[in-house]
Structure 1
Amino acid sequence: MIEKELKSLGIANICEGTSTGKHWFSNGETIVSTSPVDGKNSGRVSCTDKSDYERLVAAARTAKQEWANFPAPQRGEIVRQLGEKLRLHKSALGKLVSYEMGKSYQEGLGEVQEMIDICDFAVGLSRQLYGFTMHSERPEHRMYEQYHPLGIVGIISAFNFPVAVWAWNATLALVCGNVIIWKGSEKTPLCSIACQKILAEVLIENSLPEGISSICTGAADVGRWMAEDNRIDLLSATGSTKMGKQVAASVASRLGKSLLELGGNNAIIVTAHADLKMTIMAAVFGAVGTAGQRCTSTRRLIVHEDLYAQVRDALIGAYQQLKIGNPLNTTNHIGPLIDVDAVKNYLSALKEIKKQGGKILIDGEVLKGEGYESNCYVRPVVAEVENHYAIVQKETFAPILYLIKYRGEVSEAIKLQNEVAQGLSSSIMTNNLQEAEYFLSHRGSDCGIANVNIGTSGAEIGGAFGGEKETGGGRESGSDAWKAYMRRQTNTINYSNALPLAQGIKFDF
């Protein structure tokens, strides 16, 4: 299905196991990349063993000083070239993302565009790594702060965004003067290899050290090596809250730095003053986009009682129009879940909804027959529930939307929204200015992302991305997220002939 794309990306031979690139292909056990689209194997990738890992860390350590010595705008030029190559490969890489992960082709293209956008952002950033100056209390002294590269940045990414999240981290880390080591998801290894191949070409064309960027492939053991390795100056990890807690504990035990982007249990609040058409559009895409496998997917729809029946009926009508099938067919709205384990979690959640007292309005099932041979296609579900149900409090990576009724003022809805352990994305649908401002105030949403009259899913690269509570507290992508990839240093310069002490302390002898 994607042979032409693999060839255009230069990784067809790698998938056949006939190439062993020095720092982007390994010699350990084999992972088979099986597409959830049709259940077919699209390639075999060797896992990183411990000797491979030591070799690539050594290469990174060798390269990091040379790379840090390049002026930041020159580092930005390398990232600009990466962006140009991504433009050339957008269609092929987007199709690979769609086929290997299962999201729609349009979403695959959107993910690659996000990579291009963050390259552009990082290029501009390379000339804006600002420090600060401040007045000293001592005469003829100058104080300022500046930022230096950390060294080696480790990146652990998840299957649901197999290329974009790497780019968020990689581009910023690179322009900040760091080298990178990436562990992509073992469920989407071809996407990782394709991205590394594209960046490796840029490095080779500019006669730069190969160790500036490396990848390692494998399961949790490889991530554990990175978390426990004090040579990794920053570990940025995206995935489940369970995984993030393990990473955080390991990195903290060595007093290292971590940047965590973890689970979400995102809600859209629909007040009595909401626009119904906009609400349904936002809720449906948020709930079923990427088959509900985004960290920003809409899990809960908290609706005022005055509008509840209209929203419920409109949702049922909209869901009946959704087309489920091969995501490379652009007439389909929903592709498959990532694998049969995800399907099991989906089915388990449906049982729990009923067991805990919920009412399923649109029933779920695993689709069978022609076009569904992978057994990974499921029907999206809408269920009436109470916010306190244990299954509602848990993040289920599947297209399950919980419909929750609230009464009274918007503060009651916000209380329901905030009564979960996660704090990534949130939204309110309202044309009432007071409700919108209350939602955005310190009394409102406790999430890292709070939107008005748009859904929870889909973030622009210009703003910092991340959340609070069990979402981890990290920030990636735009705004001043670049500071996480650098170490901060305060400098004081005395240009006088005396040595006055701070706080007026006298020390004469």
Structure 2
Amino acid sequence: MQVTTATEAALLTSREIITGEELGSVPLATPGAVAAAARRAAAAAPAWAARPAAERAAILSRAAELLLERDQEAMDLLVREGGSITGKAFYEVHAGAAELRHAAALATGPDSPHGPGSEPGRETEVSRVPLGVVGVIVPWNFPLLLGMRSVAPALALGNTVLLKPDPHTPLSGGRLFAEVLADAGLPEGVLEVVHGDADAGAALVQAPDVAMVSFTGSTEVGREIGATAGRLLKRVVLELGGQNAFVVLPDADIEQAASAGSWGSFLHQGQICMAARRHLVHQDVVEAYTETLARRAAALRIGDPYRTDAQIGPVIEHGALTRIAAAVEEAVAQGARLVTGGRMQGPFFPPTVLADVTPKMAVFHKEVFGPVAAITAFADDDEAIALANTSDYGLTAAVYTSDADRGRALAPRLRCGVVHVGDQTVNHDPALPFGGIGASGNASGFGGRAALDAFTRWHTLTTSSPARAYPF
């Protein structure tokens, strides 16, 4: 990413990660420009909220169609700008369209039921109404999907949106949004896109016209946003990091479990908040699982995902590469066994398996946002649960077993927002609530009726007829 200066405004230039080729430029927003965009969104909010829900839904449905018509362009941007492999980019585009379609259905769905008031002679109407302007701050790892996850339901439910993409992905996470929704008929001002770094993000959170902030990103930044939003009495949805546990029980098919574990840890170079970080494996099968996972990891094709059929693409930036390498070196120094991977290869970090990891090691507790799987053995179910819950994070978890009933019995004991039995940790469904607890965020704010709760508020109207009089 490179910032250049033009005669009219500073520009943010997006470049392909591997080649450095320029992909496009967008204007950088000053804090004043962010505040002005928030005012435009606020001015557009009453008319958009008053628009019939069916009309809002039709625009979002049309946007889904237009996005899929531009799927190759969108996929190319995700691959070149963000380092996605082709399969991940294909999934993200289609999942983004699914978010738009689900939001369209949400707009016209039944309102939340609420019982009548308790006073006789007073009619009561209770409804959900838009918040106003929703500020959305999107990360670079799934810019299209994670942006649409907030933008689409917020718009569907009558809010206007102020969107700030990550500086690494201004095209796939911002410009593409604006173009698709504008072509679908979204009125001017209903979606405002601003580009910039932390200063622009802070201006978005602090803008008086922004009623709510939806942030997906690091726990460190999320804490700052949560503190600011709390001081300003704004609603905030935080979806933050994860140190997710992938629990492998002794009855699991080892090849299948390692397949799921490999996908959960190494997809998109492990740069996913839901990635399987800690592989908690029963002691009877831990050696077989470690050997199988390492074999799968070493066989993954590393390379340029735009020009080859690579399964592992580049890490987002050099600073991230060095942080991943330092975390692996620290783990080995603390006693972990490096089974495969572990060293940078140009802009790539190979899939890495660390064995003999214990809770005394930093890698067990600190999120390594890269393709690193840390394996820890356990003796019984109670120890597996204790190890899994030894974390400040609480986003997702998975229990891999051939006995679904046993997995379902363990799932409620795991301290996190989402658990998958017979699967791995990286899963997304726009119809289901999603969110974490602890250092992973402030619980569900996305998916299904959770989106209705997040992006609207209760409004109560009572009518007394005849009008009431009082003693004084």
CA distance in 2, matches of 1:38, 1:211: 36
CA distance in 2, matches of 1:264, 1:352: 20
Contact 1:362/1:380 (<8 A) preserved: yes
Query: CA 1:189 to 1:136, structure 2 compared with 1: closer, same or farther past 3 Å?
Result: closer
Matched, 1:296 2:274: yes
Query: CA 1:298 to 1:163, structure 2 compared with 1: closer, same or farther past 3 Å?
Result: same
Residue in structure 1 matched with residue 347 of structure 2 by the alignment: 376
Contact 1:95/1:109 (<8 A) preserved: no
Query: CA 1:359 to 1:16, structure 2 compared with 1: closer, same or farther past 3 Å?
Result: closer
For 1:72-124, what per-residue CA distance to the aligned partner results, in whole angstroms no more than 9, with x for missing partners?
12111111111111110112101111110001011111111011111111111
CA distance in 2, matches of 1:135, 1:157: 39
Among 206, 215, 224, the alignment partner of 1:246 is 224
For 1:72, the aligned partner's letter is: A
Among 455, 458, 461, the alignment partner of 1:485 is 455
1:16-55 maps to which residues of 2 (within 5 A)?
A: 28-55=9-36
Contact 1:268/1:300 (<8 A) preserved: yes
For 1:230-249, what per-residue CA distance to the aligned partner results, in whole angstroms no more than 9, with x for missing partners?
21001101100001001111
Residue in structure 2 matched with residue 119 of structure 1 by the alignment: 100
1:5-404 maps to which residues of 2 (within 5 A)?
A: 28-191=9-172, 192-203=174-185, 209-329=187-307, 331-367=309-345, 375-384=346-355, 385-404=357-376
CA distance in 1, matches of 2:113, 2:124: 9
For 1:124-154, what per-residue CA distance to the aligned partner results, in whole angstroms no more than 9, with x for missing partners?
1111151323143322334342111111000
Among 450, 456, 459, the alignment partner of 2:419 is 450
CA distance in 2, matches of 1:411, 1:28: 59
For 1:437-492, what per-residue CA distance to the aligned partner results, in whole angstroms no more than 9, with x for missing partners?
22222xx1111110001100121211112111111124344221222111112333
Residue in structure 2 matched with residue 435 of structure 1 by the alignment: 406
Deviation, 1:308, is 0.9
Deviation, 1:346, is 1.0
CA distance in 2, matches of 1:327, 1:494: 66
Q: How many residues align?
A: 467
Query: CA 1:498 to 1:33, structure 2 compared with 1: closer, same or farther past 3 Å?
Result: closer
Give 4+ residue runs of structure 1 displaced > 4 Å after superposition.
Answer: 15-18, 495-499
Deviation, 1:16, is 11
Please, which runs of 5 or more residues in structure 1 have no aligned partner?
1-14, 19-25, 368-374, 500-506
For 2:112, the aligned partner's letter is: G
TM-score of the pair, normalised by structure 2: 0.94
CA distance in 2, matches of 1:201, 1:494: 46
CA distance in 1, matches of 2:5, 2:430: 36
Contact 2:261/2:424 (<8 A) preserved: yes
Please, which runs of 5 or more residues in structure 2 have no aligned partner?
none
Contact 1:366/1:379 (<8 A) preserved: yes
CA distance in 1, matches of 2:408, 2:292: 27
For 1:359-390, what per-residue CA distance to the aligned partner results, in whole angstroms no more than 9, with x for missing partners?
111132222xxxxxxx3111111002113312
Contact 2:397/2:425 (<8 A) preserved: yes
CA distance in 2, matches of 1:435, 1:27: 63
SS at match of 1:404: strand
Residue in structure 1 matched with residue 431 of structure 2 by the alignment: 462
Give the share of equivalent positions with the same residue, in percent: 27
SS at match of 2:442: coil
CA distance in 2, matches of 1:449, 1:437: 12
For 1:8-45, what per-residue CA distance to the aligned partner results, in whole angstroms no more than 9, with x for missing partners?
xxxxxxx9999xxxxxxx95423232322333332333
SS at match of 1:132: coil
For 1:119, the aligned partner's letter is: L
For 1:189-241, what per-residue CA distance to the aligned partner results, in whole angstroms no more than 9, with x for missing partners?
121212212212223xxxx5311011111100001011112210011011000
Query: CA 1:329 to 1:284, structure 2 compared with 1: closer, same or farther past 3 Å?
Result: farther
CA distance in 2, matches of 1:152, 1:27: 28
SS at match of 1:346: helix
Contact 2:404/2:421 (<8 A) preserved: no
**Worse overlay, 288-297 or 487-496:** 487-496
Query: CA 1:460 to 1:267, structure 2 compared with 1: closer, same or farther past 3 Å?
Result: same
SS at match of 1:45: strand
For 1:308, the aligned partner's letter is: V
Matched, 1:471 2:471: no
CA distance in 2, matches of 1:331, 1:398: 20
**Worse overlay, 386-395 or 461-470:** 386-395
**Worse overlay, 164-173 or 57-66:** 57-66
Deviation, 1:50, is 3.1
CA distance in 2, matches of 1:458, 1:17: 41
Residue in structure 1 matched with residue 391 of structure 2 by the alignment: 420
CA distance in 1, matches of 2:404, 2:170: 46
Superposition CA RMSD, Å: 2.1
SS at match of 1:323: coil
Contact 1:465/1:477 (<8 A) preserved: yes
CA distance in 2, matches of 1:363, 1:131: 51
For 2:44, the aligned partner's letter is: A
